């Protein structure tokens, strides 16, 4: 039987592993994290610690919530990723949107893969009945301002189990949200090795032979006929570089900034996050209660139920890198210009709702959609494989994206990973 190693169990890794397993491969998924557990501490105790000002630095969240990893970069940007079986999809708010325009421009056709995903992965827009009066009012305000809001399709395992607790990004406790590890549930020829951090891919005479992993203090090797690297936009470049394969300093991250105000009884903290989205050139706007800012940003020290907040998520310039220790992610002048324009648009929403600018405050600038460090070009449109990689080593995550989407990438990463796995099997 042919064997494959897939590095990382996020959106790209699980999708690639599934595809290989369905075609008869014996697949080993090497995952640095462990089984996902939602943020388990009593939220009232967390609230006490927050009010007492004990949460000094966002990186402290890892002590309470090991699946959430934080890196800090320039300009105060806080980078959030998931380290668990299911990758960052465990922290996702479940938005299921297709954004493959830049890939299509290179000549990569993912229509078939998206059509299959529609059948394989539960997605729904049937959540509007759960919206609060304020969410409906926000939707109407967006419409009034010509922002063309669209109800967001959500990855939902079972919409009936959603109690709109508002804590999707802290892990779903109710079994409502779909996460990508579910793709591997029914497959007996896939083994997930948790707590196995890949240091590098082993390459002999130009052929990938497997991977060196760290399990606690131990260093071990695994071998396979085919290696698929899907450790995420920040994890994959580190493994590539450690394996002697150069990456490109073209990291994008999709910066996020929430603008908030005090609004008594808003209860946005117990609403489905991002229930609708307004898509603008270079950014999107959506109602979002930002738990990171709530716990770590001094300006957010008020009851969670009394904060109303709108998220800006923008496409940033491809510039930056991560070597496993130092994350370099500068924002270009153009990025600041886009952000300033988006902030003005959010002020328009607030003003229409009767909230003046001086009553608003910012959240913490953060980001959670990294990618772009081995971008595809037209030269790789057919093979989905860079010439710098051994013939049997493929990448299957957002590292391949030619530029930032400025939009939720899970669905597009899965479609691309599906195609990468198929191409790898055919080659």
Ligand X SMILES: Cc1cc2nc3c(=O)[nH]c(=O)nc-3n(C[C@H](O)[C@H](O)[C@H](O)COP(=O)(O)OP(=O)(O)OC[C@H]3O[C@@H](n4cnc5c(N)ncnc54)[C@H](O)[C@@H]3O)c2cc1C
Q: Give the interface segment with ligand X, choosing from 40-48, 84-92, 325-333, 337-345 (CB under 6 A).
A: 84-92
Q: Measured from the CB atom, is 355 or 411 closer to ligand X? A: 411
Q: Which of 4, 12, 149, 258 binds ligand X (CB under 6 A)?
A: 12
Surface-to-core class of residue 182, CB atoms within 10 Å of its CB (0-12 exposed, 13-18 middle, 19+ buried): middle
**Residues 92 and 410: beta-carbon distance below 8 Å:** yes
Q: Which of 4, 21, 46, 92 binds ligand X (CB under 6 A)?
A: 92
Half-sphere exposure of 395 (CA within 13 A, CB side): 30
Is 80 among the residues that bind ligand X (CB under 6 A)? yes
Write out the binding residues for ligand X, residues 137-176 only, by CB under 6 A.
169
Q: Which of 296, 397, 416, 424 binds ligand X (CB under 6 A)?
A: 397
Q: Measured from the CB atom, is 121 or 355 closer to ligand X? A: 121
Is 275 among the residues that bind ligand X (CB under 6 A)? no
CB of 339 to ligand X, least distance (A): 18
Q: Give the interface segment with ligand X, choosing from 122-130, 134-142, 245-253, 408-416 (CB under 6 A).
A: 408-416
Is 30 among the residues that bind ligand X (CB under 6 A)? yes
Q: Secondary structure of the chain in the HEC alphabet?
A: CCEEEEECCCHHHHHHHHHHHHCCCEEEEECCCECCCCCCCCHHHHHHHHHCCCCCCHHHHHHHCCCEEEEECHHHCEEEEECECCHHHHCCCCECCCCCHHHHHCCCCCHHHHHHHHHHCCEECCCHHHCCHHHHHHHHHHHHCCCCCEECCEEECCHHHCCCCCCHHHCCCCCCECCHHHHHCCCCCEEEECCCEEEEEEEECCEEEEEEEEECCEEEEEECCEEEECCHHHHHHHHHHHCCCCCCCECECCEEEEEEEECCCCCHHHCCCCCEEEEECCEEEEECCCHHHHHHCHHHCCCHHHEEEEEEEECCCCCEEECCCCEECCCCHHHHHHHHHHHHHHHHHHHHCCCCHHHEEECCCEECCCECCCCCCHHHCCCCCCCCCCCCEEECCHHHCCCCCCCCCHHHHHHHHHHHHHHHHHC
User: How many C-beta neighbours within 10 Å does residue 269 have?
Assistant: 20
Q: Measured from the CB atom, is 274 or 349 closer to ligand X? A: 274
One symbol per residue from 317 to 356: x for binding ligand X (CB under 6 A), - otherwise; what is it?
----------------------------------------
CB of 181 to ligand X, least distance (A): 9
Q: Which of 6, 190, 239, 284 binds ligand X (CB under 6 A)?
A: 239
Q: Measured from the CB atom, is 71 or 355 closer to ligand X? A: 71
Q: Give the interface segment with ligand X, choosing from 90-98, 127-135, 333-341, 380-388 (CB under 6 A).
A: 90-98
How many residues of this chain interact with ligand X, rule: CB under 6 A? 41
Q: Measured from the CB atom, is 17 or 339 closer to ligand X? A: 17
Is 386 among the residues that bind ligand X (CB under 6 A)? no
Is 413 among the residues that bind ligand X (CB under 6 A)? yes
CB of 355 to ligand X, least distance (A): 25
Q: Give the interface segment with ligand X, choosing from 43-51, 82-90, 127-135, 259-267 (CB under 6 A).
A: 82-90
Q: Which of 275, 368, 390, 406 binds ligand X (CB under 6 A)?
A: 368
Q: Which candidate, 210, 212, 180, places its Cα nearest to that of 196? A: 212
Q: Which of 28, 71, 89, 364 binds ligand X (CB under 6 A)?
A: 89
d(CA 56, CA 69): 16
Write out the binding residues for ligand X, residues 179-198 only, by CB under 6 A.
197-198
CB of 144 to ligand X, least distance (A): 26
Is 398 among the residues that bind ligand X (CB under 6 A)? yes
Q: Which of 5, 13, 108, 406 binds ligand X (CB under 6 A)?
A: 13
Q: Give the interface segment with ligand X, choosing from 9-17, 38-46, 52-60, 297-305 (CB under 6 A).
A: 9-17
Q: Give the interface segment with ligand X, choosing from 100-108, 140-148, 229-237, 376-384 (CB under 6 A).
A: 229-237
Torsion angles phi and psi, residue 35, rounded to 5: -50, 135
Q: Which candidate, 6, 22, 19, places its Cα nearest to that of 192? A: 6
d(CA 139, CA 148): 9
Is 410 among the residues that bind ligand X (CB under 6 A)? yes
Q: Which of 5, 32, 147, 389 binds ligand X (CB under 6 A)?
A: 32
- Residue numbers at the binding site for ligand X (CB under 6 A): 7-13, 30-33, 80-84, 87-89, 91-95, 169, 197-198, 230-233, 235, 239, 368-369, 397-398, 408-410, 413
């Amino acid at each position: 039987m042919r064997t494959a190693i897939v590095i990382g169990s996020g959106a790209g890794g699980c999708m690639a592993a599934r595809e290989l397993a369905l075609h008869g491969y014996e697949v080993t998924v090497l995952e640095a994290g462990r089984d996902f557990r939602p943020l388990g501490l009593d939220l009232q105790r967390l609230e006490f610690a927050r009010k007492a000002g004990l949460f000094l630095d966002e990186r402290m969240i890892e002590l309470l919530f090991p699946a959430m990893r934080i890196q800090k970069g320039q300009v105060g940007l806080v980078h959030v990723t998931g380290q668990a079986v299911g990758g960052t999809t465990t922290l996702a708010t479940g938005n299921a949107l297709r954004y493959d325009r830049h890939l299509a421009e290179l000549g990569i056709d993912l229509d078939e893969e998206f059509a299959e995903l529609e059948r394989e992965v539960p997605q729904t827009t049937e959540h509007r009945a759960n919206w609060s009066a304020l969410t409906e009012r926000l939707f109407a305000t967006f419409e009034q301002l010509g922002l063309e809001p669209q109800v967001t399709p959500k990855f939902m395992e079972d919409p009936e189990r959603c109690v709109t607790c508002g804590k999707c990004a802290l892990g779903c406790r109710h079994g409502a949200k779909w996460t990508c590890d579910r793709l591997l549930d029914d497959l007996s020829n896939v083994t997930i090795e948790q707590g196995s951090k890949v240091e590098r891919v082993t390459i002999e005479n130009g052929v990938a032979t497997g991977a060196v992993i760290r399990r606690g203090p131990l260093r071990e090797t695994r071998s396979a006929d085919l290696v698929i690297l899907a450790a995420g936009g920040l994890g994959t470049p580190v493994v590539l570089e450690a394996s002697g394969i150069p990456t490109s300093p073209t990291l994008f991250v999709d910066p996020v900034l929430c603008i908030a105000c005090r609004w008594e009884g808003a209860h946005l903290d117990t609403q489905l996050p991002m229930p609708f989205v307004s898509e603008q050139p270079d950014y999107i706007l959506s109602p979002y209660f930002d738990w990171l800012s709530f716990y770590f940003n001094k300006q957010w020290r008020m009851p969670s139920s009394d904060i109303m907040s709108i998220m800006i998520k923008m496409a940033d310039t491809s510039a930056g890198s991560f070597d496993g220790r130092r994350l370099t992610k500068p924002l270009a002048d153009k990025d600041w210009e886009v952000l300033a324009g988006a902030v003005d648009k959010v002020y328009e929403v607030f003003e229409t709702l009767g909230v003046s600018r001086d009553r608003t405050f910012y959240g913490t600038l953060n980001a959670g959609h990294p990618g772009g460090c081995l971008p595809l070009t037209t030269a790789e449109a057919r093979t989905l494989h860079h010439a710098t990689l051994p013939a049997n080593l493929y990448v299957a995550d957002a590292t391949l994206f030619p530029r930032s989407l400025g939009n939720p990438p899970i669905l597009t990463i899965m479609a691309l990973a599906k195609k990468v796995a198929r191409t790898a099997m055919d080659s």
